[in-house]
């Protein structure tokens, strides 16, 4: 009972989500630990949305800060979530499909790790039903190839009865960061803005180049997601089916390939364990050329004239 009622990490209760989604749909902003349960928040946000935007962004934290300013004169929504999977993208597209209209332009963040076999993310299972519905519409994707929702539900049950979480609940009772509805950007807060983009606090984006370079090196050694040498066939099928479905419906798909910090890229290039990162980029570029798709970005920052000063993390 204590774990459920206190729930300092917002992992057990979701009753706050409708209030936040309503505020965001009415032009307000939300501050707090916005990455937590962002899949459920953006799902509710889209469901309550009155008009389908002209531009939609589907991606991870690498596109979360992309705002409508990049598309002047067009209505815009950023449906990116932290550690986004292709399954998450299917979910959000299905929600727009139910509105009988898809956005005309859809930006897809082709994170390199999505094409390997080392990236493990279960939170998309929160919306597994919507994924199944969209996969059936797309065709060529069997839900039997993916874990059941119980794989995530059992983590919820473990947390509910966790002694570790009980200690944390008692320690942080009344002290956990709260969600707050705001009418203006608060510089030192992480926030969701009305167009779906995320504002990062100054202490994350205002580091010196030396500090950022240190984070960039640490990322290489601490992130196993990029440690793959071959592309995963199921992941490629998810990607290709998604893009071809969009093309068949007359949507203009733009594929974004995120750049790594120069130090991170250098380490990736010189490691035999991460050759898959560059194979993924080649695969995306070849696919885009074959199907006449627009692309933006490159894995190597030097290819698009980016320098260390352009990065705030890896």
Backbone angles phi, psi at 66, to 5 degrees: -70, 120
Tokens (6 digits) for 92: 């959000």
For residue 150, give the 3-state DSSP assignment.
helix
Question: What's the rounded Cα separation, in Å, for the pair 179 and 307?
Answer: 35
Q: Kindly tell me the burial class for residue 145, based on how many C-beta atoms sit within 10 Å of its own C-beta (0-12, 13-18, 19 or more).
A: exposed
How far apart (Å, rounded) are the C-alpha atoms in residues 244 and 28? 35
pLDDT at 212: 97
Buried b (16+ CB within 10 A) or exposed e, 275-303: ebbebbbebbbebbeeeebebebbbbbee
Tokens of 5: 């009622």
Distance CA 303, CA 34 (A): 33
Q: Measure the CA–CA gap between 111 and 244, rounded to whole angstroms.
A: 18
Contacts of residue 191, Cβ cutoff 8 Å, sequence gap at least 6: 29, 30, 31, 32, 34, 182, 185, 198, 199
pLDDT in tens, the chain (314 residues): 999 999 999 999 999 999 999 999 999 999 999 999 999 999 999 999 999 999 999 999 999 999 999 999 999 999 999 999 999 999 999 999 999 889 999 999 999 999 999 999 999 999 999 999 999 999 889 988 999 999 999 999 999 999 999 999 999 998 889 999 999 999 999 999 999 999 999 999 999 999 999 999 999 999 999 999 999 999 999 999 999 999 999 999 999 999 999 999 999 999 999 999 999 999 999 999 999 999 999 999 999 999 999 999 99
CA–CA distance, 105 with 55 (Å, rounded to integer): 5
The whole-angstrom separation of Cα 82 and Cα 64 is: 8
pLDDT of residue 124: 97
Q: Which of left, alpha, beta for 32 (phi over 0: left; psi -120 to 50: alpha)?
A: left
The pair phi, psi for residue 107, each rounded to 5°, is -90, 125
Residue keyed to tokens 């309503």: 22
- Comparing C-alpha atoms, which of 276, 273, 277, 275 is closest to residue 314? 277
pTM above threshold 0.75: yes
Q: Are 13 and 4 in contact (CB under 8 A)?
A: yes
Question: How confident is the model at residue 140, as a pLDDT?
Answer: 86
pLDDT attached to residue 150: 95
CB-CB contact of 34 with 201 (8 Å): no
């Amino acid at each position: 009972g204590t774990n459920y009622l206190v729930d300092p990490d917002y992992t057990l209760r979701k009753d706050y989500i409708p209030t936040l989604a309503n505020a965001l749909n009415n032009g307000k902003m939300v501050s707090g630990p916005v990455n937590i349960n962002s899949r459920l928040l953006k799902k509710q946000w889209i469901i309550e949305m009155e008009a389908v935007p002209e531009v939609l962004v589907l991606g991870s934290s690498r596109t979360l800060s992309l705002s409508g300013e990049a598309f002047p004169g067009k209505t815009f929504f950023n449906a990116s979530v932290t550690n986004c999977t292709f399954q998450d993208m299917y979910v959000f597209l299905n929600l727009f499909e139910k509105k009988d209209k898809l956005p005309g332009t859809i930006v897809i963040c082709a994170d390199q790790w999505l094409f390997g076999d080392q990236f493990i993310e279960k939170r998309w299972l929160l919306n597994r039903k919507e994924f199944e519905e969209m996969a059936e519409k797309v065709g060529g994707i069997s839900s039997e190839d993916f874990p059941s929702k119980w794989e995530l539900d059992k983590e919820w049950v473990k947390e509910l009865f966790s002694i570790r979480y009980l200690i944390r609940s008692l320690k942080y009772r009344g002290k956990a960061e709260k969600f707050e509805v705001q009418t203006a950007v608060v510089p030192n807060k992480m926030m969701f803005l009305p167009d779906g983009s995320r504002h990062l606090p100054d202490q994350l984006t205002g580091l010196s180049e030396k500090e950022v370079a240190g984070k960039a090196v640490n990322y290489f050694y601490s992130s196993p997601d990029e440690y793959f040498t071959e592309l995963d066939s199921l992941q490629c099928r998810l990607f290709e089916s998604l893009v071809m479905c969009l093309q068949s419906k007359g949507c203009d798909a733009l594929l974004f390939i995120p750049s790594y910090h120069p130090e991170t890229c250098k380490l990736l290039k010189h490691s035999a364990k991460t050759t898959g990162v560059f194979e993924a980029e080649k695969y995306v570029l070849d696919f885009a050329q074959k199907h006449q798709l627009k692309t933006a970005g490159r894995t190597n920052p030097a290819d698009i004239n980016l320098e260390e000063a352009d990065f705030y993390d890896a």
